[in-house]
Structure 1
Amino acid sequence: MKPQTNILFVCLGNICRSPMAEYIMRHKIKQAHLEDRVSIDSAGTSGWHDGEDMHKDTKKQLAKHQIDHFGFISRKVRKQDWDYFDYIIAMDNQNLKDLERLFGKNTEKLFNVTSLCPDLAYDHIPDPWYTGNFDETYQLLDQCCDVMLEKLTR
């Protein structure tokens, strides 16, 4: 692994799915003692919630799994993210299309998180803002983050 790998998780509003992925992945990175080699962040394609904390049910889900959820501030994806991050990982196909419009296609660097787990029953992470099912979102992201960690340690 190179000295520093930077990962950005992206959803629409950056208050539910992408912060959940960010904090799950941070937790896994810490458990693997890789904090000095991997940095994790998240952003949204819309900017609707810029400056806000994550959704209260995202916090509850992370707390339920004993994952730190403090210090979060929502933000919109920026052009300069392309140069800084090694991986930009979308939560669904619409997020991916929005990101490809901004950055262009690059399947090595920019991809849908569910492509990490082709055996999932989903081709996207359902948005709990609409489904209300934060537990399902957690379970799917937890699996995808396990695979991402494997990818990083290979």
Structure 2
Amino acid sequence: MVRVLFVCLGNICRSPMAEAVLRHKIVQRGLQHQIQVDSAGTGDWHVGKPPHEGTRKLLDSYQISYADMAARQFGSADFNQFDYIVCMDDSNVANVRKITGGAEADIMKFMDLLPNESLREVPDPYFTGNFEEVYKLVEAGCNVLLEQIQKDHSLA
């Protein structure tokens, strides 16, 4: 089983959006028994809460499920449980490395999946309000990530 974890600050906007989008794509490709997806935040402010209303509305508009999703905080144990830890911005990368004792391997920045984009971090719609912009980045990046996972693990 390949395991992917998306990480953002509070785990209510960007990372749950990416989790829901990638889950949706995995089901569309029939890979739900081979790939698991989760998300977490580096902060604890929203633990136990559902995705942000803006994220839920956007996912609803694309008919993408976020059922049973609740915010949780990233912990050091996550580092050993996931094959891919994908952070939404530089601050998230730094916080994850701090929590995992400075580990360099297995942590990537989401926008590295989209090298032709001018943005180098996924903007936080909690502050910008632009959930559609984030969705477009997440959707494109999840396509690239899923292709990479399939290639890395020889999944059909």
SS in 1 for 2:76: coil
Which letter maps to 2:130? Answer: N
Q: In the alignment, what sits opposite 2:14?
A: 17
Q: How well do the aligned residues superpose, as a CA RMSD in angstroms?
A: 0.8
Q: In the alignment, what sits opposite 1:106?
A: 104
Q: In the alignment, what sits opposite 1:70?
A: 67
Q: Which of the numbers 119, 136, 140 marks the counterpart of 1:139?
A: 136
Q: How does 1:5-154 map to 2 (within 5 A)?
A: 5-103=2-100, 104-107=102-105, 109-154=106-151
Which letter maps to 1:124? Answer: E
Which letter maps to 2:43? Answer: S
SS in 1 for 2:45: coil
* Deviation of 1:105 (Å): 3.2
1: distance between equivalents of 2:79 and 2:111? 20
* Deviation of 1:28 (Å): 0.6
1: distance between equivalents of 2:41 and 2:56? 17
SS in 2 for 1:8: strand
SS in 2 for 1:34: coil
Identity %: 41
Q: In the alignment, what sits opposite 2:154?
A: none
What runs of 5+ residues in structure 1 fail to find an aligned partner?
none
After TM superposition, the score normalised by the length of structure 1 is 0.95
2: distance between equivalents of 1:69 and 1:50? 16
After TM superposition, the score normalised by the length of structure 2 is 0.94
What runs of 5+ residues in structure 2 fail to find an aligned partner?
152-156
Which letter maps to 1:71? Answer: D
Q: Deviations over 1:82-126 (max 9, x none)?
A: 11111111000000011111122324x101000111011210100
2: distance between equivalents of 1:102 and 1:13? 15
SS in 2 for 1:7: strand
